[in-house]
Chains A and B, each alone.
Chain A
Amino acid sequence: MNKMEKALHELSEMDDLAAQESPIHNLHPLAKLLATVAYIVTVVSFDKYDLTGLIIFVLFPILLFQLSGIPVRTCFYKLRIVLPLVMAVGLFNPFFDRAPLFMLGNVAVSGGVVSMITLMLKGVFCLMAAFLLMATTGIDKLCAALRMLHLPPMLVTLMLLTYRYVGVMTEELAVMTDAYHLRAPGQKGIQFSAWGSFLGQLLLRSMDRAEELYSSMQLRGYHGHFHYVKINRIRPADVLYVVACVAVFVLLRIVPVTQLMGNQFVG
């Protein structure tokens, strides 16, 4: 397998994950979508120094990992590229915000350090939640759920096709890199001088394929209205899930549980 095929394989692994069975997988996609959005909004809304309040929110992804049987390892492996970027966001805070916030033993912890950690956690939490949504739902059901929220059909179809199109382009890239390396043995990567024609070809080829794919869709009666996968009716359990999630999030947002617990021990 070359690199591109690996990438393709990883993409299809997301579909495989979504095809598994678990109580979380079985929840209505709309319920999962709403709960995830609620989670992200709550997490993001925390104050930049409110590390103690935020930390308890790690429980939601942990619970989901447990219940859905999706390995935590897989999540971090798949997010390995974006994770560092998200983590890098708050990296400079310690340099700008040096005012000591509290003392840890003899060391003064500055506001910058706390806000850096808070920012990083926010990023990681949100990514995990989004990953879990995707891994337990799948792109098709997710799009169906978005349609239920009355997002414009054009937008949703575009999203779905973009997701597929990444696959098409990766496939073309895989074929082309193989063809290149078969005739350039021992070469690492693709020579700079060949980049221009390589990229041009890639674009043309994937455009050709996209066009043929599109006509194949048209020939089978596609007129801009996509029939998304069948999803079950909304059951009481789904409603309960959303309500419970939102209630817990709000509660944890308002009541500083971690602090209270801490006070129990300390004081």
Chain B
Amino acid sequence: MIEFKHVSFAYEKNAPVLKDLSFHVKKGETVGLIGANGAGKSTVMKLLLGLLSGEGDVLVDGTRVEKNTLGQIRKKLGFVLQNSDNQMFMPTVYEDMIFGPLNYMLSREEAEKRADAALEQLGITDLKHRHNHKLSGGEKRMAAIATILAMEPDAILMDEPTAALDPYNRRVVINTINSLPQTKLITSHDLDMILDTCERVILLDRGEIVADGLAKDILTDKALLEAHRMELPFCFAGRA
């Protein structure tokens, strides 16, 4: 469903951020994209969404991401931004949630139904009519996830979905991710969450894929992780 073929990208000349990246995410798969700060995870997401464009081919459902296919591709992808503040722009959570569905020509009733279902699913119906800028960091994140669920995309991209969440809401998000049938690409430094949600992991270091395989193999490989500025998930780290 999602395919990168020899993709390279640089924000500034002579400072490549992604180097010859190739991978393929199959339909229904949940893949964790991990790597140290600045490894290029968010950049991968942005290329996929056509917010940036580099060399090589990025394909979604076999269609190349380029200017005239953007509308069609973005309809299939839901993206939860790393910074929820930048995701929500309507005055209330509810208005934000129906923004996407309305743009895709759904009726208001249908849009509202979807919004309610998404709020229900995340257990945050009480946030529906709250003002976005009066939400706490964690509440904002939950609301941002809800706005994406309301769009019912074919694939969901999440950049750090559990950052800023308390343990309870983190668990809610993990359970939600696990209950979603869609294809999912998730970046996070919360490796325990990755372990709980992804069967497959791609490890990125300085713009290159250094490992791609089963989560339970990569996330238990202490030597590999440490060689790329990472640590074992807490559940394997043991206590000294």
Contact = CB atoms under 8 A, between A and B. Distances in A.
Interface string B16-57: 000000000000000000000000000000000101000000
Contact of A219 (B74, B85, B108): B74
A188 B115 CA distance: 46
B125 interface: no
B133 interface: yes
A183 interface: no
A6 to B, nearest CB: 13
Interface string B130-172: 0101100000000000010001000000000000000000000
A220 B134 CA distance: 23
A238 interface: no
A213 B85 CA distance: 8
B134 A213 contact: no
B11 interface: no
Interface residues of A, number: 23
A216 interface: yes
Nearest to A214: B89
Nearest to B97: A220
A155 interface: no
Report, as a range, how many residues of chain B touch the other chain.
20 to 34
Given A213-B89, A229-B95, A219 B79 contact: yes
A106 to B, nearest CB: 58
B103 A216 contact: no
A257 to B, nearest CB: 41
B86 A222 contact: no
Contacts of A12: 91, 131, 133-134
A254 to B, nearest CB: 42
Interface of A is mostly: helix
A167 B99 CA distance: 19
Contacts of A164: 89
A227 B102 contact: yes
A221 interface: yes
Contacts of A230: 108
A221 B81 CA distance: 16
A8 B132 CA distance: 12
27 contacts: A8-B133, A140-B95, A164-B89, A167-B133, A171-B85, A209-B85, A209-B86, A212-B87, A213-B89, A215-B51, A216-B87, A217-B89, A217-B99, A218-B74, A219-B49, A219-B79, A220-B74, A220-B99, A220-B100, A220-B103, A221-B74, A221-B75, A221-B104, A223-B71, A227-B99, A227-B102, A230-B108
- A-B pairs, 7 with minimum CB distance: A221-B103, A220-B100, A212-B86, A227-B102, A216-B87, A213-B89, A221-B104
